[in-house]
C-alpha cells in the first residue's frame, strides 16, 4: 500500500517523510513572491486557454477555472486570501485555493505540461514589465519637471565646479540640463531593457519543452509578450532580465546620488544656492535652527542599498549550472526591493526639484573674476596668440593680482596688464563680464542661452 505523500505539496508524490520545519521556512518564498499574485493568475488564465486549444481542457472546465481564478484575484486584492501551511510560493497557494473553489479534479488539470520553472519565469517577466513600464513614465515625468524648471530659470548664472572648486560661470539651467541628460539616457536604457524583458518563457515546461505541442506563440500573444523565448533551456534558466533591471537601477541610483550630493552642498549655509521645501526636510531634536536635507541624504544613502541588491544577486548566480537551480529563488527579494526603492526615489526626487527654492543673488554673488581667467586667455587667442602662450600669460595676471592683493584680475590697470604682455589693449576690460563669458559658449552643449535651450528641446523630444 502506498504511503501518504508529504502533506499536499505539488512535488509530494516522491516523498513520504515530513520536512524539517526550518527547511519549510527556508524554502518558502510566499512571504515575498505573493506580490506577483496577479501575474501568476494571468499566466494561468492564458495557459489554460492554450490547453483548451489542445483539447486537454473542455470549454466548461475552462470557464470554471477562469471563474475560480477571478475569485482568487478578488481575495488577494481585498486582503482576504487565507494562506495555509504548505503554500510554498504564490503558484502553490493559487493552485491549492483554486482546488478548494472549483474542486481538485478540474483544478488538477491546470498544471498539465507546465512546470513551476517556466511559471515563475513568466510571472517575473510580467511583473518586471509592469514595473518598468511604470518607472518609464515616472522617469519621463521627473525629467520633464527638470526641463520645465530649466526653461523658467534660464537667466540665472552660477559657478560651475571641477574638483569642487569654482571653475567657470555657467547657467543654473545648464546644471539642470546636465542631470536631465543623465536621466534621459536612463530613460532610453530602460526602454531597451523592456524589449528584452518582454519575451515569453511559458510553455517551456521544466526545461525540455512542452509534451503536448502547445502553441507558445498563442501564449506569448495572450500575455502581451513580443515572442516566445526560442530555447526552452534558456527560457527557464535565464535571469539576465533581472540582472539588467538591477544594473539599470544601480546606474539610475548613482545618478540620483550625485544629483542629491550637489543639492546637499548647494543647500548649506556656506553656499546658500538652494533651499529645500519643508515637505522634504527635517529638523534637529536638539538644535532648533537646523533644517536638514534628509530627503536628499536618503536618496544618496539608498543608492547603496540598490548597489547591494545587484552585487548580492550576481554572486548568487555566478556559477550555477544549467538550467533551473534553487539558487535562482534569490532573484526575487533583491529585485522587488530595488524596484520599490527606485520607484520611491524617483517620486521623492521629483518632489524635491519641483518645490526647491533658489537664491539667484547667492548664486550670482558666488561668481568671482578669477573664474574669467580662461576668457582672458581667449582674449589674446583672438588676437592671434597661441593658446598655450595665452594660458601662461593669463596665469601671470592672476598671480599679479594676488601679489598686489587686489580683489580680482579685473582690478589690474591697463598699464599692469601691458607690463605682463604688450598685446593687451583697452578692450581687455570687456572680458570681465559673466554674461558675456557665458554667451560666448554657444557651441552645441554649451552654457549660452541658445545652446541650453537647444539641449532642453532635444531632451524633451527623446521623451516622446
Helix (H) or strand (E) holding 168: strand 165-171
Pairing of strands 199-200, 165-171: unpaired
Cα angle: 454, vertex 277, 340; to 5 degrees? 80
Annotated active-site residue in 284, 311, 322, 450: 284
Annotated active-site residue in 105, 163, 285, 461: 163
Which of 215, 216, 244, 213 is closest to 229 using CA atoms? 216
CA separation, residue 97 to residues 43, 58, 382, 407 (Å)? 16, 21, 81, 80
CA separation, residue 107 to residues 83, 257, 446 (Å)? 18, 49, 65
Residue 135: Cβ within 10 Å count: 23
* 163 carries an active-site annotation: yes
Residue 275: Cβ within 10 Å count: 17
CB 189 within 8 A of CB 246: no
* 437 carries an active-site annotation: no
In 3-state terms, what secondary structure has residue 199? strand
237's CB contacts (< 8 A; 6+ apart) are 207, 322, 323, 324, 325, 328
Residue 297's Cβ-count burial label (10 Å; 0-12, 13-18, 19+) is: middle
Pairing of strands 357-358, 157-162: unpaired
According to DSSP, the residues that pair with 162 across neighbouring strands are: 165
Which of 203, 266, 259 is closest to 229 using CA atoms? 203
The set of cell numbers assigned to 245 is 533591471
Q: What is the Cα–Cα distance from 381 to 372, expressed in whole angstroms?
A: 14
CB 289 within 8 A of CB 250: no
Q: Active-site positions? A: 163, 284
Amino acid at each position: 500500500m502506498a504511503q501518504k505523500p508529504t502533506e499536499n505539496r505539488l512535488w509530494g508524490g516522491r516523498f513520504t517523510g515530513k520536512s524539517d520545519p526550518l527547511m519549510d521556512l527556508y524554502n518558502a518564498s510566499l512571504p515575498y513572491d505573493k506580490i506577483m499574485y496577479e501575474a501568476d493568475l494571468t499566466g494561468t488564465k492564458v495557459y489554460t486557454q492554450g490547453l483548451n486549444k489542445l483539447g486537454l481542457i473542455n470549454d466548461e472546465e475552462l470557464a470554471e477555472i477562469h471563474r475560480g481564478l477571478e475569485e482568487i484575484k478578488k481575495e488577494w486584492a481585498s486582503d482576504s486570501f487565507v494562506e495555509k501551511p504548505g503554500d510554498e510560493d504564490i503558484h502553490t497557494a493559487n493552485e491549492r485555493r483554486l482546488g478548494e473553489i472549483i474542486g481538485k479534479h478540474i483544478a488538477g488539470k491546470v498544471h498539465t505540461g507546465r512546470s513551476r520553472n517556466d511559471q515563475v519565469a513568466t510571472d517575473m517577466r510580467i511583473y518586471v514589465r509592469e514595473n518598468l513600464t511604470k518607472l518609464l513614465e515616472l522617469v519621463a515625468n521627473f525629467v520633464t519637471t527638470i526641463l520645465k524648471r530649466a526653461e523658467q530659470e534660464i537667466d540665472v548664472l552660477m559657478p560651475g565646479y571641477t574638483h569642487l572648486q569654482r571653475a567657470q560661470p555657467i547657467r543654473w539651467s545648464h546644471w539642470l540640463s546636465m542631470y536631465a541628460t543623465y536621466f534621459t539616457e536612463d530613460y532610453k536604457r530602460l526602454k531597451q531593457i523592456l524589449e528584452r524583458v518582454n519575451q515569453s518563457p511559458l510553455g517551456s515546461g521544466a526545461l525540455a519543452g512542452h509534451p503536448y505541442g502547445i502553441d507558445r506563440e498563442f501564449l506569448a500573444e495572450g500575455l502581451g509578450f513580443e515572442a516566445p523565448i526560442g530555447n526552452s533551456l534558456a527560457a527557464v534558466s535565464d535571469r539576465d532580465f533581472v540582472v539588467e533591471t538591477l544594473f539599470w537601477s544601480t546606474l539610475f541610483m548613482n545618478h540620483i546620488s550625485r544629483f542629491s550630493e550637489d543639492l546637499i552642498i548647494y543647500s548649506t549655509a556656506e553656499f546658500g544656492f538652494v533651499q529645500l521645501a519643508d515637505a522634504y526636510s527635517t529638523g534637529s531634536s536638539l538644535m532648533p535652527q537646523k533644517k536638514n536635507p534628509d530627503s536628499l541624504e536618503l536618496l544618496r544613502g539608498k543608492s547603496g542599498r540598490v548597489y547591494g541588491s545587484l552585487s548580492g544577486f550576481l554572486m548568487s548566480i555566478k556559477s550555477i549550472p544549467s538550467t533551473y537551480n534553487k539558487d535562482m529563488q534569490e532573484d526575487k527579494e533583491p529585485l522587488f526591493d530595488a524596484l520599490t526603492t527606485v520607484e520611491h526615489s524617483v517620486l521623492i526626487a521629483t518632489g524635491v526639484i519641483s518645490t526647491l527654492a533658489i537664491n539667484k543673488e547667492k548664486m550670482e554673488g558666488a561668481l568671482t573674476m578669477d573664474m574669467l581667467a580662461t576668457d582672458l586667455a581667449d582674449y589674446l587667442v583672438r588676437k592671434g596668440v597661441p593658446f598655450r602662450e595665452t594660458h601662461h600669460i593669463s596665469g601671470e595676471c592672476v598671480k599679479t593680482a594676488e601679489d598686489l592683493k587686489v580683489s580680482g584680475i579685473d582690478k589690474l590697470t591697463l598699464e599692469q596688464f601691458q607690463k605682463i604682455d604688450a598685446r593687451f589693449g583697452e578692450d581687455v576690460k570687456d572680458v570681465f563680464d559673466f554674461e558675456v563669458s557665458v554667451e560666448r559658449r554657444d557651441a552645441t552643449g554649451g552654457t549660452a542661452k541658445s545652446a541650453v535651450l537647444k539641449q532642453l528641446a532635444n531632451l524633451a523630444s527623446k521623451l516622446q
